[in-house]
Structure 1
Amino acid sequence: MVVHGLWIINKAGGLVFQRNYAEGLSSLTANEYLVLAGTLHGVHAITSKLSPTGKGSGVQVIEGEDFKLNIMLTLTGTKFVLITSLPHPNPESTLQKVYEAYSDAVMKNPFYTLEMPINVNGFDERIRTIVASTVG
């Protein structure tokens, strides 16, 4: 039950936050993370159009052999992507806690500019605490 990483992607598809929290993820360059975030943003947009009802919210889970990506789309278009091990018990709850920390620490910060990389004091520590509390 490991959280490997967290990405926050803005509504335009730009990666505004990326951290790895456990060993096991490949080391990527900053540019490779940006490309992956943009690709995931595009895949999410395409899959939201594939719903037979026309009201789809896009892909929410991508599962590999030994990892899982959970994607939470907010009303503002920001995407939170949590990369976990397969047996993680409740990634949706973890994403909700991350979103609450983001809303409280980042969005209430008068010095943060929307759609820009997140460098807000205390946000990293709050996320580390959330991630540590999910390890069982």
Structure 2
Amino acid sequence: MNNFSSEQVRWPVPWNLAVNSAQPSPVAMGTVAIYSLFIINKSGGLIYYKDYGSAGRMDTNDSLRLASLWHSMHAISQQLSPTTGCTGIDLLQAHNFDLHCFQSLTGTKFFVVCETGTQNMEILLKTIYELYTEFVLKNPFYEMEMPIRCELFDLNLAHVIQKDRVALLGR
């Protein structure tokens, strides 16, 4: 995995972008909350969105805009990288939230918006990807690149998110 010369690219705006960071964020906080989950197909279309009680709920248009914007930023970061083989932005850190992203080999992107300093989101994203392959891609009624409407995926995802919250928060 190729990296920029530093772990994070510093911008003069109130967020930092970590490109291909190998380690989760070093900041550890006492509480962890996942605000929302997005799954974007390889062409940038939002195929799944789940809100887990973020302070500012987004309407459908806002979630579509955010997914499209993230897809574009991810693609641009791959092209602007001074090293070959860059896979794009893995982490966006803002003052009030972190955005962690995992891109599968097929180009499908999974990203979560969570509290700042949340650790091990890469593991959670890979677990969500495994659920996606198990319950969505193996579903004979699912059409590729279309919105995900699979009850088994929803149930197992809810279980994984709840298990993650219990492990990290004790709730």
TM interval, short-chain normalised: over 0.9
Unaligned segments of structure 1, at least 5 residues = none
Equivalent of 2:157, from 116, 124, 127?
127
Structure 2 Cα separation of the partners of residues 79 and 111 of structure 1: 21
TM-score by length of 2: 0.76
Displacement of 1:47 in angstroms is 0.1
1:30 aligns with 2:66: no
Displacement of 1:132 in angstroms is 1.0
Structure 1 Cα separation of the partners of residues 54 and 145 of structure 2: 29
Structure (1 or 2) with the larger CA radius of gyration: 2
The 3-state SS of whatever aligns with 1:49 is helix
Alignment-mate amino acid for residue 2 of structure 1: A
Contact 2:131 2:157 in 1 (8 A): yes
CA RMSD of aligned residues (A): 1.0
Structure 1 Cα separation of the partners of residues 142 and 156 of structure 2: 17
Structure 2 Cα separation of the partners of residues 70 and 86 of structure 1: 10
TM-score by length of 1: 0.95
Contact 1:50 1:56 in 2 (8 A): no
Alignment-mate amino acid for residue 3 of structure 1: I
The 3-state SS of whatever aligns with 1:33 is helix
4+ runs of 1 displaced by more than 4 Å?
Answer: none
Alignment-mate amino acid for residue 122 of structure 2: E
Displacement of 1:9 in angstroms is 0.2
Structure 2 Cα separation of the partners of residues 100 and 64 of structure 1: 28
| Count of residues in Structure 1 that have an aligned counterpart in Structure 2 | 135
Contact 1:2 1:22 in 2 (8 A): no
Structure 1 Cα separation of the partners of residues 69 and 113 of structure 2: 16
1:21 aligns with 2:57: no
The 3-state SS of whatever aligns with 2:135 is helix
